[in-house]
């Protein structure tokens, strides 16, 4: 599935009263659920539940798609702008030194 098809399907479950506040809180909540699975694995002896992690990534993607819709951009545009930023920041690939001393 590509971003365009995902966005079409995601819109079916988008509420009429969607807002950037809902997106921000939803991203925070879903990211917290993702982190909780990792925490339980690292510190509480749970097996790493990769299937549940993938589900949480899907929920995060839903909110990213919703945020893009509210901002009037496509998921493809969000992805492209991110790659452009990363290529500028790390022209030769990831470099810990550039990460530590990076400029905005």
Q: Give the pLDDT of the chain (104 residues) as one tens digit per residue.
A: 999 999 999 999 999 999 999 999 999 999 999 999 999 999 999 999 999 999 999 999 999 999 999 999 999 999 999 999 999 989 889 988 888 887 76
Assess whether 43 and 79 both reside in one domain.
no
* Count of structural domains within the chain: 2
pTM as predicted = 0.90
Assess whether 44 and 82 both reside in one domain.
no
| Burial of 92 per CB tally in 10 Å (0-12, 13-18, 19+) | exposed
The CA distance from 100 to 104, in Å, is 12
Assess whether 55 and 78 both reside in one domain.
no
What per-residue confidence (pLDDT) applies to 95? 84
Neighbours of 36 (CB within 10 A): 12
What per-residue confidence (pLDDT) applies to 56? 98
List alpha helices for the chain, DSSP H.
Answer: 3-11, 20-44, 50-71, 75-89, 96-100
Assess whether 65 and 88 both reside in one domain.
no
What per-residue confidence (pLDDT) applies to 98? 82
């Amino acid at each position: 599935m590509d971003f365009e098809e995902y966005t079409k399907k995601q819109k079916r479950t988008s509420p009429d009263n969607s807002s950037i506040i809902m997106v921000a809180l939803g991203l925070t909540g879903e990211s917290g659920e993702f982190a909780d699975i990792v925490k339980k694995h690292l510190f509480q002896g749970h097996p790493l539940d990769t299937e549940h992690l993938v589900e949480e990534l899907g929920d995060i993607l839903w909110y990213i798609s919703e945020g893009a819709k509210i901002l009037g951009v496509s998921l493809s545009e969000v992805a492209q702008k991110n790659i452009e930023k990363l290529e500028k920041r790390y022209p030769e690939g990831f470099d810990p030194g550039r990460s530590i001393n990076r400029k905005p």
